[in-house]
């Protein structure tokens, strides 16, 4: 049965963009320009001009409210998104590959402290940054991914090295960093990733844990009551300190000694998902079994946000590519890895369709969101916007999964559906005009 009825039902309520890349507006820090871009990325009417190539990006989805985002911070984030679009466009305008455009755009976002990837990555429970990334070439179906790395300035570059310079698809942890060294990639000190905002986000999460008591066991894990790894030390716990030491110089090809994690401030505790706000899609009455993860809390805005960055692109030759990078969830534990580096869940590209996702990763993994969208395009012959909207606004909503995707097909159609109150997003077509939006309502 076609899901088109569901797509139409959600179209008026949730932000689901169905458009072709075209000169619909210019990203600007002015209120008028921002309002124009917000409206442009909500239109259901295709523009009159259909370009041959373009780029779409995102910087994470979640509860993003205007009242909690200062004009200065909003302007800075829009500027970073615009810079990323222009970096990708510069590659495509010269006849470059979609894969190069995707990595160029993501690299800009990884270097920004405003997004949860690279420089702006959040801290895990032990006060350590753990970074994940993936990239996929739709023309060849080649893919590369890394997870749980600590000293890689641009994880998207290492994911691409895995794809192009190894017979593997995914590498993790110290092994991935040893591979990076063998490829001549520098390792950065852990202090590079420290930002006061992210550190305060971890402290808030630890304070919430202290106030709530110990959590139930994770799904598939024995109870941690009275045992490691999540118990406080025998001595009275002290607040975790920012990382002061990172990678020491190492001989090329040899793994770097990982930074020592800090002690957690208090015993770990469960946190419940925030209640749904009026006007937002329904979420399950009960949390998923074993899930104690909640989206990171921005220490400046107080908003709940699933921090990820991603890009999809179509080049002049009609080839698609996708990439995603993230620092995961604030206060994550036990080496948790979300959907971003999982091919088919948070990242996917083939000859018809490219997708990068952002949201509560466990749901995107269970429902193989990125591949599901492209499979509906391939096997049901659905238009990309309809396929993407159905998966995000029907399948995920019914399961209780929050987040969104950016997607593009080989005809240049774009979809940006999300079932939360906001998603940092933007696109740029062959005319070189960047358009950036954040909120659900213009």
What positions carry a catalytic annotation?
308
**358 in helix, strand or coil?**
strand
**56 in helix, strand or coil?**
strand
- Calpha distance 8→255 (Å, rounded): 52
- Calpha distance 107→98 (Å, rounded): 14
5 is written with which tokens? Answer: 């009825």
Return the sign of the alpha-carbon dihedral for residues 419, 391, 339, 88: negative
- Going by C-alpha positions, the residue among 235, 245, 239, 244 that lies closest to residue 264 is 239
The CA-CA-CA angle for residues 339, 372, 9, to 5°, reads 105
- Calpha distance 313→100 (Å, rounded): 9
- Calpha distance 210→206 (Å, rounded): 6
- Going by C-alpha positions, the residue among 367, 359, 374 that lies closest to residue 424 is 359
Q: In this structure, are residues 322 and 311 in contact, taking their beta carbons and an 8 Å threshold?
A: yes
- Calpha distance 126→25 (Å, rounded): 44
Please state the φ and ψ torsions of residue 129, each to the nearest 5 degrees. -90, 130
The DSSP bridge pattern shows strands 353-359 and 347-349 to be antiparallel
Q: In this structure, are residues 130 and 332 in contact, taking their beta carbons and an 8 Å threshold?
A: yes
């Amino acid at each position: 049965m076609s899901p088109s009825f569901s797509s139409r039902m959600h179209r008026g309520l949730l932000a689901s963009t169905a458009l072709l890349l075209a000169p619909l507006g210019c990203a600007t820090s002015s209120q008028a320009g921002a309002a124009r871009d917000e409206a442009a990325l909500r239109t259901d009417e295709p523009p009159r001009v259909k370009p041959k190539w373009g780029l779409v990006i995102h910087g994470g989805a979640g509860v993003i409210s205007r009242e909690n985002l200062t004009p200065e911070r909003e302007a800075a984030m829009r500027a970073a998104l615009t810079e990323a679009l222009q970096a990708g466009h510069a590659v495509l305008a010269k006849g470059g590959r979609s894969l190069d455009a995707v990595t160029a755009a993501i690299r800009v976002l990884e270097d920004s402290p405003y997004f949860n990837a690279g420089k702006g990555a959040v801290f895990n429970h032990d006060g350590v940054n753990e970074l994940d990334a993936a990239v996929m070439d739709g023309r060849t179906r080649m893919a590369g991914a890394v997870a749980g790395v600590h000293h890689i300035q641009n994880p998207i570059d290492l994911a691409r090295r895995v794809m192009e310079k190894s017979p593997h698809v995914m590498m993790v942890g110290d092994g991935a960093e040893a591979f990076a060294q063998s490829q001549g990639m520098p390792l950065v000190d852990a202090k590079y990733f420290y930002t006061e905002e992210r550190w305060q986000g971890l402290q808030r999460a630890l304070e919430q844990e202290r106030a709530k008591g110990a959590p139930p066991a994770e799904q598939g894990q024995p109870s941690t009551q009275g045992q490691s790894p999540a118990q406080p030390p025998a001595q009275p716990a002290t607040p975790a300190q920012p990382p002061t030491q990172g990678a020491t110089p190492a001989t090329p090809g040899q793994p770097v000694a990982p930074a020592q994690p800090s002690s957690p401030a208090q015993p770990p505790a469960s946190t419940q998902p925030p209640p749904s706000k009026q006007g937002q899609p329904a979420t399950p009455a009960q949390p998923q079994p074993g899930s104690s993860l909640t989206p990171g809390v921005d220490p400046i805005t107080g908003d709940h946000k699933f921090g990820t960055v991603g890009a999809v692109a179509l080049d002049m030759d009609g080839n698609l590519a996708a990439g995603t990078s993230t620092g995961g969830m604030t206060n994550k534990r036990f080496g948790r890895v979300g959907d971003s580096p999982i091919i088919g869940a948070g990242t996917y590209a083939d000859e018809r369709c490219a997708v990068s996702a952002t949201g509560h990763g466990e749901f995107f993994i269970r429902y193989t969101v990125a591949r599901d969208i492209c499979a509906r395009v391939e096997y049901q012959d659905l238009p990309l916007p309809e396929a993407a909207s159905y998966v995000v606004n029907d399948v995920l909503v019914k399961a209780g999964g929050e987040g969104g995707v950016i997607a593009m097909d080989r005809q240049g159609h774009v979809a940006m559906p999300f079932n939360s109150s906001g998603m940092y997003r933007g696109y740029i077509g062959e005319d070189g005009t960047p358009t950036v939006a954040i909120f659900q309502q213009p």
